[in-house]
Structure 1
């Protein structure tokens, strides 16, 4: 992958400097401009930014409450640059002067985009922005489960990479139907490691199901999560072996009401993720054939909450989980009462019957193990992660709480998976203990 970072180093520094200088240039002018126009423009920008804050958080809840407050300051400066550029364009006649004003405003807005990207690490490199990773334009290589009949699952102990094995895995697009659940789904993504693609191929590899955040899609694991590089690096250390990674669509085909990874009036998304997806994987990829010991679920933010829900509701299917910056329970912006009305017809007992914290309080999970990863600077989700950790430990799960550097961003989400691949490999049986 292109090594030009968009998070640290020369390029983001240069863009920030150019943006700052552009704003100074737009503010420069005669005394009346400096003493009257710029202050009025600044007040207007502040008002617009405050309205943006009200719409984004208290009113429409466009993003979570841990959105870094400093980014509103940068957004305000970008708005100020646009206002000053518009005023300058209206005041001058020369095409060159207008071009300079538009360029200056564009550079200022680019600097704002750099700060937002630095906060969330959505695009870690220049290539991830310009040419983001995508699934290959090839048919998914399927495998009949009968091909694994009578053969032991491939592990590092019994596998020798054959000559000509690919050095890298591939990501494919796949349609996973809701055969049992009736769940409507957008395309999923599937990562197949080099050992799966080898000839002869590894047999009955374990499976990792990854859930994306909200808003988001499976492709976010490729871009911000750098999944292809992550899994290929793991495979390179283990003779091409790695879990098959399945990234299903958690949005219920872009349903206005995302399904929360629960079975509800909106959709049976829990059944889809815990029944339909595993069944499809076993039937089409001949992976995870040995039962729950070969299966794990992980996710970040919304997906972390999903991973917890699935681990608590389907411990035989997903006895291994990684909850990265998830909530303590599913929520909607309008509150718990609205959630229960929308998803469960007002019947709270239907919610509590599936809610992970309620299930953890009611029964024991001695065969389950999980990692709960949170960001040191995430003031919203870290306390909830600690609550989940205490509840899971009290329920007999073998759980570890990890506090990672960063906030509610890919800095934490990516590391929460990458740092625990060896642990996953041991839990799933592909690596020695």
Structure 2
């Protein structure tokens, strides 16, 4: 079973190649078989295989599921109750749990969050560890970072090199539904900003014995989550000190690009003042952020996010942010880039959260 679970879903061979071969063979049989029932059955099989090939191509393009095991949950980590975890000994690797974070203040209906607890969390006496919020995009869900993003493996590798110490990483729901798009603001889709900056930190600090919000808290994210990370840290610098933006746009947008379109009426009730108060470019030119650290990483083939990073990074530097920009040659808007971006930036994030000396990795 473990061998089957490790078979690649992104390489052409064996699975994707076999799907294509099967489609061709059955297509030929459809043309040769004369009995109507058999032709109907084979035709239906052709349709199923064609759909599977399309889905396989999409998955390979975005790098969401790397193996069969990821796609069907094998091997998986069982969600554990906090009571059971509290009785655990220090494990060799981190533990991933799924837990509902209620929106008591925001009244935001969120899907369960994923939480990574590093081995050091199980030590006695338990250390107060820093926290990283890791945000998904849209369409998406909190499990995107543990499935397509490979976050647990990246964190385990870093913790393994640092005596089991790593940030507690919380992957909360930012949209409420797979296809929703709050842009992490308090708008028509829900009070997402209040949820992420009040409800989530309050819950995490009370349940996981963490450092309090402030200089030991960070936000990172991919795509929409990257834009959210920049915006939320700039709007709440007393609660968060570090952001990492992987392929985000220039700010909250109702569309897929940097152009405003109907952003102001759709997200901010036609209030230009509210839009400006959430626009990173405006914030960076009107306020100073000497206590904030920021990392931008984007592929050189990713048009609007690349333009956004090139716009925001110098503005951030001018505003006092200790920032870095990494442009990945050949990189697009996919989990191939986001896995790399998280691995690239994690040592730097950890150093800014006080867990290790300054990272040696440098932007390209």
**Residues in 2 aligned to 1:103 and 1:265: alpha-carbon distance in whole angstroms:** 43
Provide TM-score, normalisation by structure 1.
0.73
Asked if 1 retains the 8 angstrom alpha-carbon contact of 2:96 and 2:114, the reply is yes
**Count of residues paired in the alignment:** 351
**Residues in 1 aligned to 2:275 and 2:55: alpha-carbon distance in whole angstroms:** 39
Alignment of 1:352 onto 2:294:
no
**Residues in 1 aligned to 2:354 and 2:105: alpha-carbon distance in whole angstroms:** 29
Structure 2 residue matching 1:189: 3-state secondary structure: strand
Q: How does 1:202-221 map to 2 (within 5 A)?
A: 202-221=126-145
The equivalent residue for 1:102 is 44
Alignment of 1:183 onto 2:125:
no
The alpha-carbon deviation at position 26 of structure 1 amounts to 7.0
For structure 1, the 5+ residue unaligned runs are: 30-87, 145-162
- What are the Cα deviations for residues 229-259 of structure 1, in whole angstroms up to 9, with x where unaligned? 22112211111111101111101x3397632
**Residues in 1 aligned to 2:283 and 2:182: alpha-carbon distance in whole angstroms:** 19
Q: Of 91, 102, 106, which residue of structure 2 is paired with 1:166?
A: 91
Mark the structure with the bigger radius of gyration: 1
The alpha-carbon deviation at position 213 of structure 1 amounts to 0.7
Query: Which one has the bigger strand percentage?
Result: 2
Q: Of 258, 266, 273, which residue of structure 1 is paired with 2:181?
A: 258
The equivalent residue for 1:327 is 249
Q: CA RMSD in A?
A: 2.8
**Residues in 2 aligned to 1:20 and 1:379: alpha-carbon distance in whole angstroms:** 35
Q: Of 353, 356, 364, which residue of structure 2 is paired with 1:431?
A: 356
Asked if 2 retains the 8 angstrom alpha-carbon contact of 1:180 and 1:271, the reply is yes
The alpha-carbon deviation at position 307 of structure 1 amounts to 0.4
Alignment of 1:285 onto 2:208:
yes
Alignment of 1:126 onto 2:68:
yes
Q: How does 1:15-414 map to 2 (within 5 A)?
A: 15=18, 17-18=20-21, 21-22=24-25, 25=28, 92-131=34-73, 136-141=78-83, 165-198=90-123, 200-251=124-175, 253-254=176-177, 258-264=181-187, 266-289=189-212, 291-333=213-255, 336=260, 338-404=262-328, 405-414=330-339
For structure 2, the 5+ residue unaligned runs are: 359-364
The alpha-carbon deviation at position 21 of structure 1 amounts to 2.7
Measured at CA, do residues 24 and 302 of structure 1 come closer, stay the same or move farther in structure 2, by a change above 3 Å? Answer: same
- What are the Cα deviations for residues 381-404 of structure 1, in whole angstroms up to 9, with x where unaligned? 222222222322222211111122
Q: Of 5, 11, 14, which residue of structure 2 is paired with 1:11?
A: 14
**Residues in 1 aligned to 2:44 and 2:135: alpha-carbon distance in whole angstroms:** 41
The alpha-carbon deviation at position 141 of structure 1 amounts to 4.7
The equivalent residue for 2:342 is 417
The alpha-carbon deviation at position 370 of structure 1 amounts to 1.2
**Residues in 2 aligned to 1:326 and 1:275: alpha-carbon distance in whole angstroms:** 23
Provide TM-score, normalisation by structure 2.
0.86
Asked if 1 retains the 8 angstrom alpha-carbon contact of 2:141 and 2:178, the reply is no
**Residues in 2 aligned to 1:178 and 1:115: alpha-carbon distance in whole angstroms:** 38
Asked if 1 retains the 8 angstrom alpha-carbon contact of 2:294 and 2:321, the reply is yes
**Residues in 2 aligned to 1:240 and 1:332: alpha-carbon distance in whole angstroms:** 41
**Residues in 1 aligned to 2:61 and 2:223: alpha-carbon distance in whole angstroms:** 15
